[in-house]
């Protein structure tokens, strides 16, 4: 029997597994550089809980996960993106 289960990914901050749909995906695209929620290439996932996305070490963790240096411009975009989430409540 084929079961349709959600694709689980691990948050780089809290290391918990979540449905990919509920995570913020940051991708180092081969051609276009760092992208949020799109692009092809090495990706890192961050859950939408405040402790994770507002973690002071999140930039370092992202850089390590993506093996790249994140430009301050990206951090601005990233912060705007996460500001739109507020504190997401995961249904458990």
Name the residues that contact Zn ion, by CB under 5 A: 11, 13-14, 47, 52
Nearer of residues 11 and 44 to Zn ion, judged by Cβ: 11
* Cβ-based neighbour number of residue 66 at 10 Å: 18
Nearer of residues 27 and 49 to Zn ion, judged by Cβ: 49
Whether 9 and 24 have beta carbons less than 8 Å apart is answered as no
Q: How far is the CB of 25 from Zn ion (least distance, A)?
A: 13
Phi, psi of 33 (to 5 degrees): 80, -155
Nearer of residues 35 and 52 to Zn ion, judged by Cβ: 52
Q: How far is the CB of 62 from Zn ion (least distance, A)?
A: 12
The distance from CA 13 to its chain's CA centroid, rounded to whole angstroms, is: 9
């Amino acid at each position: 029997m084929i079961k349709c289960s959600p694709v689980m990914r691990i948050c780089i901050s809290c290391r918990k597994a979540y449905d990919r749909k509920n995570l913020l995906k940051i991708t180092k695209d081969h051609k276009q550089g760092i992208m949020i929620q799109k692009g092809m290439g090495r990706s890192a996932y961050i859950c939408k809980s405040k402790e994770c996305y507002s973690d002071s070490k999140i930039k370092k963790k992202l850089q390590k996960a993506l093996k790249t240096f994140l430009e301050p411009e990206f951090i601005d975009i990233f912060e705007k993106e996460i500001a739109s989430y507020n504190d997401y409540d995961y249904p458990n």
